[in-house]
Structure 1
Amino acid sequence: MLSRKLITAIYLALTIFSIEAAQQRIVGSPDARFVINSDANSFEYILEANGKTVLKGQLGLAVPSVAGRATETCESGESDACFEYGDYARLYLTAPKGESNCATVEWYSNFGRRLEDCFDLLSGVHWYGGGETKVQTWPIETEKRDEAPFVAGDFLQPNVQFGGLLDTYWISTSGVAIHVQEDSPLFTSWNTTHPNQFCFVAQDRAPYVERDAVRLKYDICVPKAGETFKDVHLRSLKKYYTLPTEIPDETMIVYPFWSTWAEYKADINQTLVVQMAKRLIEEGYTTNSHIQIDDNWETCYGEAEFNSNKFPDLPGMMRELGELGINRTTVWVHPFINFNCPSFQTAFDKEYFVKDVRNKQTITWWWEGQNSGLIDFTNPEAVNWYRARLQKLQTDTGITSFKFDAGESTWLPPSVKPANGDVNLLPNLMSTKYVESVAAFGGMIETRTGHRNQNLAIFLRMLDKDSRWGYDNGLKSMIPSLLLFSILGYSFVLPDMIGGNAYGSESPSNEMYIRWAQVNVFMPSWQFSVLPWDRDPTGLRDRAVKEAVELRISYASKFLEAARQTVEDGSPMNRPMWWVDPEDPETYTIDDQFMLGDDILAAPVTTEGALSRDIYLPKGTWLLPSNNLTFTGPQWLRSWPAPVDYLPFFVRQ
């Protein structure tokens, strides 16, 4: 027989359990709603849309136990639900509603220095978006990423997680699109501190500016009845970002250009540039966009004047290039001025360099200078001066356009203060303003950083790729990088140099070089540097590259058609395989195929030594142009032959 004390204990336990269970709160309608369960300090929630669970997670993981249990204290009209932890923090929830069908989660704290929400990586659900990384995968839920600030950086430097492109936007195959408000001091993690979860953290610490209150605010958009996650994505992209109103340079889309960088590195001069151009024509590469003069042409870094010792007769060089049929030339530039340049003092006296919170100009470093000034692109006068110098360079030399390097937060001095703009948008604000400022030079330019710059008709370059095969910044990372850029709204992608940069002892083998060129054929633009006819006594590499160039040119109209569609409706030029059929799960994890527009399916080989590969054809009828065979999808073509000089691709009928 149970004792009176034991019966009392059981009764109390059941009472406490019923009180805990009663903390469930439903916010929203049956079509789209939060189902929230609170424990002592945090909330577990389920987000449902059209009767399905589309997202699960936890809110308030960083709230300390001393803050106590949240109480619901919502003023009328403020939001659908509000929870307060005394004076420590407030949580505001708004259910999915409106044309965009988006919910809003907002944390606000005057005292807390850390706010954290995490989302479950549900089985069978795949995620895309976020930022460029050195090890690029598609989709991204399998990655393990330590908590890091979500800022544009140079991942070639130590302890830098992200590359130059990132935006606070993610989309999942369950139909959830998440956008974090840009003034949140955001850190992210995947599969590390919280296994099988990805997390948003707002923290009042570097590289963000100090602030009186910490806020973490984000929207969660869900599908309406009958919508696919592709529909949610296109709707969300237009809600949070602005589409371009025109396409960039058409010649650069269709034809290759040739850079001096990987072939000659910084050892360039007039003789080598002309020699490279002559060899191009002699070897049969006569249809080109332009030649690009890369690193170390200036008198000193940032002076924006040609070194006359290396380039003694610029008019003569430009004339020779023109006689060869190369009428466009670009040069590599950057936002720095080294201390030893005469222009450094001019810019310093005019206060054109980035300032710190004490309103003092600062010195920074970069890979070509340890004591350098960084132009403040939030200062309109500094922008006008910077652009005027490059315009003068164009007028004086006949240079057509520019490659704009750097621009990421990696190169910012600590504790910066913008001349104009919301300090809470730092440091990514500096990247945004840099790209906005240089976009004035038109549709031939390229940058390697971008944040909220989707509206610009310019080319965005992948960060330097290494001459290796793997996902670790090698050939296998090319298509995942392309698809990431595309899904974030940057359609006009410039892949890095074919064959990689040949840094150190790395050099692309003939097989790697050919496969790299094939991967690039149906991408929005392409660039060569390591010369295709060198280091190949068989001539196979040269022949394969010429075939690739001819193939691309033969589909010029498809490239321009896809580019114009970006302007019309936001569809990227290159699309993931699920774009064809977003309800086909087979397409969700394919990371080595992609579409050009609606009709061309590219399936290049990215594995060393492979002479065949599996190819997935989604629904539809697909023509194999090499022999006019047609196939009906969906189906896998297993072990499809792919010799080194062959690029598998199909055209939808």
Structure 2
Amino acid sequence: MFGKLVNHRVEKNKVYLDFENNKGIVEVINPLVINIFSPLKYQQHYSRAIEELNIENCSIAVENKTSYLEIKTNHLVVKVYDDFKVDFYKIDGTILCEDLREERRPFLRRGTVSVAEDEGHNVEKDFDRHKIEVVKKMFGDEKFYGLGEKTGHLNKRGSYYEMWNTDDPSPHVESHKSLYKSIPFFINLREDSVFGIFFDNTFKSYFDMGKENSEYYYFGADDGNLDYYFIGGECVKDILVNYTELTGKTPLPQMWTLGFHQSRWSYSPESRVREIAKNFREKDIPCDTIHLDIDYMDDFKVFTWDKNRFPDEKKALKELKEDGFKIVTIIDPGVKKEKNYPIYEEGLKNNYFATDKDGVTYVNKVWPGNSVFPDFSDADTRSWWAENQRIMLESGVSGIWNDMNEPASFNGPLPDDVQFKNEGRGTDHREIHNVYGHLMSKATFEGIRKYSGKRPFVITRAAYAGTQKYSTVWTGDNQSFWEHLRMAIPMLLNLSISGISFCGTDVGGFSFDCTSELLSRWVQVGCFTPLFRNHSGSYTRDQEPWAFDEQTLDINRKYIKLRYKLLPYIYDLMWSGENSGLPVMRPLLLHYEKDKEVHEINDEFLFGENILVAPILEQGKTVRTVYLPEGKWIDYWTKEVLEGGTYVIKKAPLDICPIYIKAGSIIPNFPEQNYVGEKEIDQLTLDIYPGDGSYAHFVDDKESYNYRNGEYTLYEFMMNDGKETVINLNIKQNEFKGYETFKIAYNEASVKEVYFNNNKLEFTKQDCSVEFVIPAEKGTIIIR
């Protein structure tokens, strides 16, 4: 495709390359991030994921060697060869990533396709070639992570996936090549190195991680530019931080969005919504949010209410909000084709809808029947859609749930030649499909921010790289299967290390019928997922916490209350993640990548750095092995101290989810409350596990952007554990009303004396801990 390298020139951080048959550019974004680009379709970058590319002013050295061009930064060496083959090295010469010089060699498939297909088998076809292909050599010890919500295990080696946002309601299994999101980013971890690659191409793309042949892996696309970012670093955390510097970080949400959400297709009419709300309060189960699916609308027309089902939605939502319930309503992209329907008429008048190749508004069938599709690739359309969010906000809605935005349609998928404006560049559905939901989420986010003045809550099913800037996500239409509970963890972990921190699943499963045991185990996982939403489908059995029996109700109550207890910890993780890019839910390898035992763990995860969760994921199971990485870990339930670097056996009856706290942790806890904001919290409990460690706790108004102007308080704790435990408390920022006191729960029973600022304190002994209260001010705690 490229031929021999015949010339090059250097302009600042860019190296322009002239090949016999094409052109290329190697751009140094910073010493650890290198962009490889060739204008095969567009002359310039045209990224939907990267909106602010921060190019660091750094020195590069370019030298023409005998058979290649060498580009060197302070951390990486890039060697460019004929045919635009590119190899990457550490500065010390260690090879990181090498292009394959040979042709692809798919393994041999034997047998007769037609005979197998006649019996109904899905048969893998021969592997295709693609317009754009980058084939990399496999060294043998690679492990691959990322690629978003794909099915299968945490480590994606040996798997093949396609990036083509797909609404497939059939049970999701490992053979699914595509689901709802396209995040073309992966991390390559080897014994002596790690790097990431982000292939920024919105056309249908392909990722073969050694399935076709174990000697190489490749990524490619049907069209577009050759445009990928090589991301270096010393550890997995570095890769994730550098990737989110490119595509954006998950912003701090309103705190209520981190509480418990209850949803169903559908809670309708209004009396049913009120019944659900009443049950939560009467049964002493915290809940902040109720979601309304498509049946709240008038004939499924977006931005409308069915006045028979919701005669006075403003009054109803106001009264629900007074009881602490925020309402989130679904909005799909399909706009009903109907005369005198204002959304349709206005969109038609202003050419806001996608068209066929002859310029005629394209029509397909969705829930409302014949529907048209807003062209979210156009800035004017996005502004119009953002304006429409005001309709819902004025009704009292607190958040918007974007569904069916792959886009999904009933009369077959949108044809490839459906036309989109694409910010004046003009293109077809092939290029916009994977970013359709991403752009819809952006428009929704901007509309809510404009008309509420608060941090928007948007939830989307379809996404692309960078969607984390605008929306939380869930993994789509799962099933009430144990296998889907097991699969949820690697799916969420790979989403998390693909930049999307605010994510979750439908707790209990969307389709099929949940069982009491499955819901009991799933709520234990949901307690530790950033988005905690129970959601079920039409004509499935009831799936609310009280829908089964008293034991199931008690278990749901226990873990939902635990979630509310941990809200300040989760909020701190979201706040720090806005700056660091690190997610809430983390694979163990994010912090312990040198430990080979954690590379393939699919059934445990870290919640932040301090909490390890090892849920039960199999029917009937009440005991499991748990791997604890290096260091000391404390069983959350028994307070037993355990040495890490080994496996332990944990008995876990139905009401117990194995949870371990890292020694040296300080975990902030809220008192019991039915919803966020129910009570003013003057006293924060600090759940302290002896050891060396530090912690920062953030306090603000929980909903506005004022914290970005410095209106917050930041408490910093530093703990040193020796013959005595010393905890230094500092208040780094003090521009928002904080706490009056801290209640200290120190998890060690053999305490003889406690001092704060040299004043001896009284304390009470519990079974495995002592408790005492200090003023929330700068000072030093000494525990002997």
TM-score (norm 1): 0.76
**In the alignment, which of 128, 142, 145 is matched to residue 125 of structure 1?**
142
Q: 1:598 to 1:152 in 2, by over 3 A?
A: same
In the TM superposition, what whole-angstrom CA distance separates every residue of 1:137-161 from its partner, at most 9, and x where no partner exists?
211113344xx4x233324379983
**Secondary structure of residue in 2 paired with 1:414:** coil
**In the alignment, which of 508, 517, 529 is matched to residue 511 of structure 1?**
517
Aligned 1:394-409 pairs, distance under 5 A = 394-395=393-394, 397-409=395-407
Q: 1:295 to 1:348 in 2, by over 3 A?
A: same
2:260 equivalent to 1:256: yes
**In the alignment, which of 486, 495, 498 is matched to residue 507 of structure 2?**
498
Aligned 1:287-436 pairs, distance under 5 A = 287-318=286-317, 320-322=319-321, 325-340=323-338, 342-343=341-342, 344-366=344-366, 368-369=367-368, 371-395=370-394, 397-411=395-409, 412-421=414-423, 426-436=432-442
2:259 equivalent to 1:283: no
Contact 1:178 1:221 in 2 (8 A): yes
**Secondary structure of residue in 1 paired with 2:628:** strand
Q: Tell which deviates more after alignment, 378-387 or 553-562.
A: 378-387
Q: Tell which deviates more after alignment, 593-602 or 399-408.
A: 399-408
2:656 equivalent to 1:646: yes
The ranges of structure 1 where at least 4 consecutive aligned residues each deviate by more than 6 angstroms after the TM superposition are: 34-38, 41-46, 157-160
2:252 equivalent to 1:228: no
Post-superposition shift, 1:599?
Answer: 0.6
Contact 1:165 1:448 in 2 (8 A): yes
Q: Which has the higher contact order (CA 8 A, sep 6+)?
A: 1
Counterpart code for 1:487: I
Find the aligned partners of 1:59 and 1:365 in 2 and give their Cα distance. 47
Contact 1:243 1:455 in 2 (8 A): yes
Post-superposition shift, 1:624?
Answer: 1.3
Find the aligned partners of 2:316 and 2:202 in 1 and give their Cα distance. 48
2:496 equivalent to 1:486: yes
Find the aligned partners of 2:267 and 2:633 in 1 and give their Cα distance. 48
Post-superposition shift, 1:59?
Answer: 4.9
Contact 1:258 1:291 in 2 (8 A): yes
- C-alpha RMSD of matched pairs (Å): 3.3
In the TM superposition, what whole-angstrom CA distance separates every residue of 1:284-319 from its partner, at most 9, and x where no partner exists?
22x321221112111122342211222234355335
Q: 1:608 to 1:426 in 2, by over 3 A?
A: same
Q: What's the counterpart of residue 252 of structure 2?
A: 247
Find the aligned partners of 2:653 and 2:91 in 1 and give their Cα distance. 47
Post-superposition shift, 1:404?
Answer: 1.6
2:67 equivalent to 1:55: no
**In the alignment, which of 548, 561, 580 is matched to residue 536 of structure 1?**
548
Q: 1:61 to 1:184 in 2, by over 3 A?
A: farther
**Secondary structure of residue in 2 paired with 1:427:** helix
Q: What's the counterpart of residue 438 of structure 1?
A: 444
Q: What's the counterpart of residue 206 of structure 2?
A: 187
Q: What's the counterpart of residue 577 of structure 1?
A: 588
**In the alignment, which of 437, 456, 459 is matched to residue 472 of structure 2?**
459
**In the alignment, which of 187, 202, 205 is matched to residue 221 of structure 2?**
202
Contact 2:331 2:400 in 1 (8 A): yes
Percent identity over paired residues: 19
Q: What's the counterpart of residue 555 of structure 1?
A: 566
**Runs of 5+ unmatched residues, structure 2:** 1-65, 106-128, 449-454, 536-541, 664-784
Q: 1:511 to 1:364 in 2, by over 3 A?
A: same
**Secondary structure of residue in 2 paired with 1:536:** coil
**In the alignment, which of 579, 582, 594 is matched to residue 568 of structure 1?**
579
**Secondary structure of residue in 1 paired with 2:136:** strand
Q: What's the counterpart of residue 610 of structure 2?
A: 599
Counterpart code for 2:522: W
In the TM superposition, what whole-angstrom CA distance separates every residue of 1:578-603 from its partner, at most 9, and x where no partner exists?
12222111111111111122211111
Q: 1:252 to 1:589 in 2, by over 3 A?
A: same
2:546 equivalent to 1:546: no
Q: 1:46 to 1:401 in 2, by over 3 A?
A: closer
Find the aligned partners of 2:207 and 2:299 in 1 and give their Cα distance. 39
Q: 1:443 to 1:43 in 2, by over 3 A?
A: closer
What is the aligned residue count?
546
Post-superposition shift, 1:357?
Answer: 4.4
Counterpart code for 2:443: S
Post-superposition shift, 1:350?
Answer: 2.8
**In the alignment, which of 583, 590, 602 is matched to residue 601 of structure 2?**
590
Contact 1:184 1:217 in 2 (8 A): no
Q: What's the counterpart of residue 523 of structure 1?
A: 529
Post-superposition shift, 1:433?
Answer: 1.7
In the TM superposition, what whole-angstrom CA distance separates every residue of 1:564-615 from its partner, at most 9, and x where no partner exists?
1111211111111012222111111111111122211111111222111121
Contact 2:247 2:465 in 1 (8 A): yes
TM-score (norm 2): 0.64
**Secondary structure of residue in 1 paired with 2:463:** coil
Q: What's the counterpart of residue 218 of structure 1?
A: 228
Contact 2:181 2:434 in 1 (8 A): no
Q: What's the counterpart of residue 10 of structure 1?
A: none
Find the aligned partners of 2:390 and 2:481 in 1 and give their Cα distance. 38
**Runs of 5+ unmatched residues, structure 1:** 1-22, 64-111, 205-213
**Secondary structure of residue in 2 paired with 1:408:** coil
**Secondary structure of residue in 1 paired with 2:601:** coil
Counterpart code for 2:253: P
Post-superposition shift, 1:515?
Answer: 0.8
Post-superposition shift, 1:399?
Answer: 2.4
More helix per residue: 1
Find the aligned partners of 1:364 and 1:131 in 2 and give their Cα distance. 29
**Secondary structure of residue in 2 paired with 1:566:** helix
Find the aligned partners of 1:635 and 1:220 in 2 and give their Cα distance. 35
Contact 2:133 2:221 in 1 (8 A): yes
Post-superposition shift, 1:487?
Answer: 0.8
Post-superposition shift, 1:127?
Answer: 0.4
Find the aligned partners of 2:392 and 2:130 in 1 and give their Cα distance. 48
In the TM superposition, what whole-angstrom CA distance separates every residue of 1:43-90 from its partner, at most 9, and x where no partner exists?
797867645443355257489xxxxxxxxxxxxxxxxxxxxxxxxxxx
**Secondary structure of residue in 1 paired with 2:294:** coil
